[in-house]
Amino acid sequence: MAIHINAKKGDIAPSVLLPGDPLRAKWIAETFLEEVTCYNQVRGMLGYTGNYKGKRISVQGGGMGIPSTMIYCHELVAEYGVQQIIRVGSAGSYQKDVRLGDLVLALSASTDSAINASRFQNAHYAPTASFELLMKAVDHAKKQSIAIKAGNILSSDVFYDDDSEYYKQWANYGVLCVEMESAGIYTLAAKHGIEALSILTISDSLVTREQLSHEARESSFTTMAEMALAIV
């Protein structure tokens, strides 16, 4: 039984976009989907289902951090039969050439979380994206002339780190950016045999300390949402 999603069987589509912010889920549903219904309001974590160019798609808020996101991913897959989860979220750049507004496709997700260290004793599991969804995103980017970066990212448990230089060790090993959810999503997707991909918009940079303005965030997030909707 789902505890955090109050939807009936069939209310949720097989393909789900998963922003962290429930208000971003609302914005995506109202901006891009037709014939929209709200299937969840439990804890304010909004979920919607509608149609996009003839395809039935759902959008569900997942909250901040791996534990919150994994709750919603588990219920979506185990209780509602979801087969594709695409994270659409923001990230902080770790590299000079990963700039504000850039789109990043997370090939894999390193993490400082203990979520997989406790699951795989004395081993290190490498959570990775769905190759099929990744290639669809790359093809979409080429057709739409959208510049993308693709590579390893960090899913961190810490947002405000005491050490402002902490990111440099990850950056030195090629990690592109930091966010807080993808490693959990990719792990559960692998466990349940479904497809998952994180598409991230760079909203700030730990290298330059720059941040996107509200207006720039909106336009960048539009590109990200359109890519996600196009590949499901």
Q: How far apart are CA 195 and CA 216, in angstroms?
A: 30
21 annotated active-site: no
Catalytic entry in 11, 139, 162, 204: 204
Cβ atoms of 70 and 188 within 8 Å: the answer is yes
Q: How far apart are CA 204 and CA 213, in angstroms?
A: 10
Q: What b/e string do you get for 139-165 counting C-beta neighbours within 10 Å, with b at 16 or more?
A: ebbeeeebeebbebbbbbeeeeeeeee
How far apart are the two ends of the chain, measured CA to CA in Å? Answer: 26
Q: How far apart are CA 182 and CA 66, in angstroms?
A: 8
Cβ atoms of 178 and 91 within 8 Å: the answer is yes
Tell me the two tokens of residue 162: 């005491």
Which residue type is seen at 134? L
User: Would you please indicate which residues are annotated as catalytic (active-site) residues?
Assistant: 204
